[in-house]
Structure 1
Amino acid sequence: MKNKKRIRNLAIVMLSVVSLLAGCGQASTNSNKSSSENSTKQESKQTVVTDSTGAKVTVPNKITKIADAWPAHNEIVAMLGGSSKIVATIDSKKAYPWLYKVFPDMNKAQTIFTNTTVNTETLAKLKPDVLFIPTESKLLAKTKELGIPTVQLIFQNYDDLKKVVNITAQTLGGDAQSKADKYNSYLDNRLKSVKAVTSKIPDSQKPKILHIESFKPLTIDGKDTIVDDWIQAGGGKDAAEISGNKKPASMEQVLKWNPDIIIMGKSVLNDKNSPIKSLDELYSNPQWSQVNAIKNKKVYVNPMGVFLWDRYGMESALQFQWLAKLLHPDQFKDLDMVKETQNFYKTFLNYNLTADEANKILNAQNP
């Protein structure tokens, strides 16, 4: 009898231990599950993008405030639907009036960057979710301590332009990627269409083109750049025999290259340090008088809209078309740059450009 009682008590104790262990196991499982769910929720609130340097940058899944310190990039953000989110910019209204006309939301942004300086106190107060900045920017050392997720971007050709558009879209989220895909498809199609014509033009009929970045100091854009890319796509040859952007050049080199055509941005003549303020001054300058482009008065101020067409913005998709029409009008009779510019602005910038406004942009005039 005593043995039976002892066995029954032992069974009860064992059942209690098993029950207790099961409860602990369930609590542990629930705890692990809860921790895993919280981690998953946290990850779902973030996006990891790979920038132009190859760095992986973690940004919020929902971007509400943007700082953009790359002049050429603000219009890419705007094209992808982010103009109302830009709280800090490098693009002033004075320098880029079309940007502010086409995207009035830009008037809310504070201009706190230059190419070499940044108001870090204001940037910290604005608390942007992401900072876009060009690679190798001097600003990076000054903004790094603020802990803002920073996406570094650059491109030197049209293929890499598409990559920058995609990286930006991935960062912004929402419907930005569908807009990026539409733009990249347009760029591919127009490049293919124009190159199909210009690739058949004999080299002897392709003029040598020099792209000037500034007169004082004399700097030019050479090979292995987006400038070289659109010169070739548009049916020209790059006169510069050096590589890179904003490279110093001498008058002796220019005379040796002897370009048939010179192209420059509006800002070159507006530069307060420039000794040459107009095309007339350039044509009458004795130093330049022996250059073919000057002799034949073949110097052109490049179109400028929301951003400079000839440099690193998304409007460079129009640049090679403008050049092809300029250099080879007979081969591009059906290309109407006024209409092309209007359609481009409507499709990608959601702005109904009038014919008069399109002409102003093509002639680098302010709104």
Structure 2
Amino acid sequence: MAVRRISLILAACLLSLAAAGCADSRGETRTIENIKGQSITVPVEAKRVAAVYGPSYETLVLLGAEDRIVACSDVQVDNFPWAQRIFKRLNSLPKLENVHTAVNIEAMLSYKPDLVLGFPRPNESNKLDKLKIANVPGAVTPNLESTLKQLEVYAAALGGDAPERAREFEDYFRSKLKRIKEVTDKLAASERPAVYYSAIDLLSTYGKYSDLTEVISAAGGRSVTGDFEAGNHSQITFEQLVQYNPAYIFIDHGGINDLDTAEKIRQNTYIDGRYGLIEAVANKRVYLTPSGVFYWDMGLQKILLVMEMAKILHPDRFADLDMNAELREFYSKFYHYELTAEEAGKILNRENP
């Protein structure tokens, strides 16, 4: 009788485990969906996370999971001295080298992650799938809503209170976006200046399949590459840039892959006489996008980019928008770091700590 009772208890336990998730070499798992609606298998509780894709580290901080990171990538450390100051574990973690070229899978697996937040590169994701290593690839987001959806995917992969933290960020994001668009949606076409947004160099930009088109529109501008059949970091020619003739140019990704820094890129546009043909250069309207803990055009700070750009494009309409205060609020809410007004000013001026 006692044996039968024990057997029934064991059977009930097994059924309970099956309901929570199946068992394979990764332990208990569950299924979530990416932003394309495709199924991804993740651990019931991811305890060891590799933050490989650039924006994934700041995302894990926002979602309350920095303590679970077992490895990060070189780009998250080397290019962002503010991240080194603000993120509490970044400097002590092992970092994977040359991740923009290719991720060394063997090196990454030596840190025994049970969840990898990787690049949107199918060859690497497929390798991890074959090894039964749960992984969530990043995504090139075509609009601002999909940026939030990708955050939800990361939160779902982590579980616990991460989805609630994601919802809190979404509420903040939509509230700030609404504040800006209540002004810019009323602008006539003639009131929207032509804007060009450059990436890793002046002739690298963002096309119609990037959410930067929506960022510029929300900020009250008109993206000159809004009809360009391309996504992120796409090359154009000097002649195309002259033909676009933007009234404003914004530079972000300078310095990546040992290329010229954003400051050097801007300096070159003013020194090289050819660029004087462009209205933005002639009128000294080439701006450096702040970066802080990560690039504003890719990560969670994208809403700050909308606000900062709106302030630059339409200073009279946004005279009451205090970007120093907005930045301090953001870092306090989501990175749990109390910036001083001086520190916030340095970030806005793209200065190091």
Q: Does the pair score TM above 0.5?
A: yes
SS of 1:277 mapped into structure 2: helix
Quote the offset at 1:356 in angstroms. Answer: 0.9
1:185-204 to structure 2, matched below 5 A, reads 185-204=171-190
Could you say which residue in structure 1 is the equivalent of 2:212? 227
SS of 2:78 mapped into structure 1: coil
Could you say which residue in structure 1 is the equivalent of 2:65? 82
The answer (yes or no) to whether the contact 1:86–1:106 under 8 Å persists in 2 is no
1:167-206 to structure 2, matched below 5 A, reads 167-206=153-192
Output the CA distance in 2 between the equivalents of 1:258 and 1:335. Answer: 28
Could you say which residue in structure 2 is the equivalent of 1:122? 107
Return 250-259 or 112-121, whichever deviates more.
Answer: 112-121
Could you say which residue in structure 1 is the equivalent of 2:273? 286
Quote the offset at 1:188 in angstroms. Answer: 0.9
Residues 61-96 of structure 1, C-alpha deviations (whole Å, 9 max, x = no match) = 222110122102221111111112111222342212
Work out the number of aligned pairs and report it: 340
The answer (yes or no) to whether the contact 2:83–2:293 under 8 Å persists in 1 is yes
The amino acid that maps onto 2:182 is A
Gap regions ≥5 residues in structure 1: 1-22
The amino acid that maps onto 2:84 is Y
Output the CA distance in 1 between the equivalents of 2:41 and 2:165. Answer: 22
Quick one: which of 78, 81, 84 aligns to 1:94? 78
Could you say which residue in structure 2 is the equivalent of 1:140? 125
Could you say which residue in structure 1 is the equivalent of 2:283? 296
SS of 2:317 mapped into structure 1: coil
Output the CA distance in 2 between the equivalents of 1:305 and 1:42. Answer: 44
Moved segments of 4+, more than 4 Å:
29-33, 268-271, 273-276
Could you say which residue in structure 2 is the equivalent of 1:57? 40
Could you say which residue in structure 2 is the equivalent of 1:35? 11
Could you say which residue in structure 1 is the equivalent of 2:250? 263
1:109 has 2:81 as partner:
no
In structure 2, relative to structure 1, the CA distance for the partners of 1:139 and 1:115 (3 Å cut) is: farther
Quote the offset at 1:108 in angstroms. Answer: 2.9
SS of 1:214 mapped into structure 2: coil
The amino acid that maps onto 1:120 is I
Output the CA distance in 1 between the equivalents of 2:201 and 2:224. Answer: 17
Could you say which residue in structure 2 is the equivalent of 1:8? none
1:254 has 2:254 as partner:
no
SS of 1:225 mapped into structure 2: coil
Quote the offset at 1:32 in angstroms. Answer: 7.0
SS of 1:126 mapped into structure 2: coil
Residues 18-64 of structure 1, C-alpha deviations (whole Å, 9 max, x = no match) = xxxxx9xx95x985773353142254253321123433222222221
In structure 2, relative to structure 1, the CA distance for the partners of 1:87 and 1:342 (3 Å cut) is: same
Quote the offset at 1:274 in angstroms. Answer: 8.0
Residues 306-359 of structure 1, C-alpha deviations (whole Å, 9 max, x = no match) = 1111x2200101110111111111111111000010011111111101111111
Return 277-286 or 224-233, whichever deviates more.
Answer: 277-286
In structure 2, relative to structure 1, the CA distance for the partners of 1:281 and 1:238 (3 Å cut) is: same
The amino acid that maps onto 1:127 is K
Could you say which residue in structure 2 is the equivalent of 1:5? none
Residues 233-263 of structure 1, C-alpha deviations (whole Å, 9 max, x = no match) = 0000001241321112111111111110111
The answer (yes or no) to whether the contact 1:258–1:292 under 8 Å persists in 2 is yes
In structure 2, relative to structure 1, the CA distance for the partners of 1:323 and 1:92 (3 Å cut) is: closer
Gap regions ≥5 residues in structure 2: 21-27
SS of 2:214 mapped into structure 1: helix
Quote the offset at 1:146 in angstroms. Answer: 3.3
Larger Rg: 1
The amino acid that maps onto 1:56 is S
SS of 2:324 mapped into structure 1: helix
SS of 2:89 mapped into structure 1: helix
The amino acid that maps onto 2:31 is V
In structure 2, relative to structure 1, the CA distance for the partners of 1:80 and 1:225 (3 Å cut) is: same
Output the CA distance in 2 between the equivalents of 1:47 and 1:144. Answer: 15
Quick one: which of 162, 165, 170 aligns to 2:148? 162
The amino acid that maps onto 2:48 is K
In structure 2, relative to structure 1, the CA distance for the partners of 1:196 and 1:177 (3 Å cut) is: same
Output the CA distance in 2 between the equivalents of 1:274 and 1:325. Answer: 24
The amino acid that maps onto 2:94 is Q
In structure 2, relative to structure 1, the CA distance for the partners of 1:106 and 1:260 (3 Å cut) is: same
1:349 has 2:335 as partner:
yes
Output the CA distance in 2 between the equivalents of 1:168 and 1:272. Answer: 30
SS of 2:117 mapped into structure 1: strand
SS of 2:35 mapped into structure 1: coil
In structure 2, relative to structure 1, the CA distance for the partners of 1:123 and 1:42 (3 Å cut) is: farther
In structure 2, relative to structure 1, the CA distance for the partners of 1:281 and 1:101 (3 Å cut) is: same
* CA-based RMSD: 2.5
The answer (yes or no) to whether the contact 1:269–1:278 under 8 Å persists in 2 is no
Query: What is the aligned-residue identity percentage?
Result: 30
SS of 2:55 mapped into structure 1: coil
Output the CA distance in 2 between the equivalents of 1:332 and 1:209. Answer: 18
The amino acid that maps onto 1:337 is M
